[in-house]
Chain A
Amino acid sequence: MITKRIIPCLDVKDGRVVKGVNFKSLGDVASPIELAEYYSRSGADELVFYDITASFEGRKLFTDVLCETAKRVFIPLTVGGGINSVEDFDRVLKCGADKVSVNSGAIRNPSLVSEAAKLYGDQCVVLSADVKRVDGVFRVFSKGGRENTGMEAIEWIKRCVGNGAGEVVLNSIDTDGVKNGFDLEMLDKVCNAVNVPVIASGGAGGIEDFITLFKTLPKVDAGLAASIFHFGEVKIETLKQEMKNNNIPVRI
């Protein structure tokens, strides 16, 4: 049986790991390479590297950090941030990325998903969607959560999956940084709309939030978080043991 994945997310800026609260006020944590090695040893099932500056400052991903990480860490790596073309896919895949996540780049150029899926396979293309309730409707935001695109989120996600996105990272802006649990309502809607793996992001404050996530929504494949792992509030070993105790399939 496939296990539920626990995925630490490393937001990288200037070669360092940062974590924003509601995407603003960033604090420095550690070297991404060292942190990645630490997480891999701790039992992380996968890692996500986001270049958080790329989408609005046009900065190129720190491919040297990525290359060095892929020399030392042998679990799946997803890279996102500033992916606007198939050339960007190529650049990070050559450095050891296994999957590439698109967000603003796909909003600007919706054919990016299908082009990349054709070239590298559906399994390589991850749609990352930043979603927020606006007047009771789920809307897709771009540019690191700062700009309302006006698009309805479920339709957008379905369209991208139809075009070949093999996985969806759903980041709820409403719950991100609040540490009061994942956005179960939003996740449930997405899980019922698509049949590709859905990764929950935004809102984890403690172990119980992951247990609630996987118990309430068995269709969710993975839970992603950043600061609670970076600051040691949640230890991955403890989290996975607790998942096991709750009969959630997990790799230990």
Chain B
Amino acid sequence: MVAIINYGVGNLYSLKSSFAAIGEHAVVSADEDEIRSADRIILPGVGAFSDALEKLKASGLDGVLVSEAEKGKPVMGICLGMQLLFDKSLEYGEHEGLGLIRGEVVPFEGRINKELKIPHIGWNALEITQPDCPLFKYIKNADFVYFVHSYFADGCDESVTAYSEYDIPVTASVQSGNVFGCQFHPEKSGEVGLKILKAFCEI
């Protein structure tokens, strides 16, 4: 069973439906016991880093997530959920993250060609740098996934498993042991996305 942490951020309908589509039982949950009893945990998220982190902390589920991750349970952050896994973010000030993955979250603004639009929105190709990452079991290099974000993870070369090119190499996915992150939305990335979720469920 997969627990999708419900801390009041974002639309979880599609995420839950995407697990159903691959025949995996998923619950959207804010219940500590239920999350602890799950085989895998998803940390979703949209919106601003500090708001989301505050809500996660207010729910008390940040501690559950971190302790389950430290016990070795597969955990995956999606989009802002991935960004929360890092040490810190520079979105509207400087905020400490969950510290499960080394690195920081920085804005596109000032780091890419001014002609390019922000957010980075749409389908972009994965440049897989760690083909052995278990998330990529059923997909191949240059497959397309769907992104929507204005900030990205930086200074995390040792955990990057794939980049996408947007003037600069943008962190698309990360892995640090049993902790995974996707900057893109697997639940909105068609067949490729479903294959990534399926692979996560087999870890």
Contacts and interface: CB of A to CB of B under 8 A. Distances in A.
A197 interface: yes
Contacts of B144: 3, 251
Given A1-B165, A70-B14, A45 B122 contact: yes
A71 B17 contact: yes
Interface stretch (A54-62, A89-97, A135-143, A144-152): A89-97
**Central interface residue in A71, A122, A167, A251, by most chain B CB within 10 Å:** A251
A71 B121 CA distance: 23
B157 to A, nearest CB: 22
Interface residues on A, range: 20 to 34
A35 interface: no
B188 A75 contact: yes
Contacts of B165: 1
A40 B146 CA distance: 14
B21 interface: yes
Nearest to A167: B121
B166 A74 contact: no
A121 interface: yes
Contacts of B124: 1-3
Given A3-B122, A74-B187, A74-B189, A93 B11 contact: yes
Given A1-B166, A76-B146, A76-B188, A71 B122 contact: no
B11 A98 contact: yes
B134 interface: no
A2 B146 CA distance: 9
B13 A70 contact: yes
A251 B146 CA distance: 10
Interface in B1-42: 11, 13-14, 17-18, 20-21
Instruction: Name the residue among B14, B18, B188 with the largest chain A CB count within 10 angstroms.
Output: B14
B139 interface: no
Contacts of B117: 195-197, 221
A123 interface: yes
Contacts of A76: 146, 188
Nearest to B124: A2
B13 A75 contact: no
A166 interface: yes
B200 interface: no
A1 B48 CA distance: 25
A5 interface: yes
B17 A70 contact: yes
Contacts of A195: 117-118
A75 B146 CA distance: 8
Interface string A237-248: 000000000000
Contact of B166 (A2, A221, A222): A2
B145 to A, nearest CB: 9
Contacts of A251: 123, 144
B190 interface: yes
B190 A96 contact: no
Given A45-B123, A67-B13, A221-B122, 9 more contacts: A2-B122, A2-B166, A40-B190, A72-B21, A74-B188, A74-B193, A76-B188, A123-B148, A197-B121
29 contacts: A1-B125, A2-B120, A2-B122, A2-B123, A3-B123, A3-B144, A5-B122, A67-B13, A70-B13, A71-B21, A72-B21, A74-B18, A74-B187, A74-B191, A74-B194, A75-B188, A75-B189, A94-B11, A96-B11, A96-B14, A96-B17, A121-B47, A122-B119, A123-B46, A166-B121, A195-B117, A197-B121, A197-B122, A221-B122
Interface of A: 1-3, 5, 40, 45, 67, 70-72, 74-76, 93-98, 120-123, 166-167, 195-197, 221-222, 251
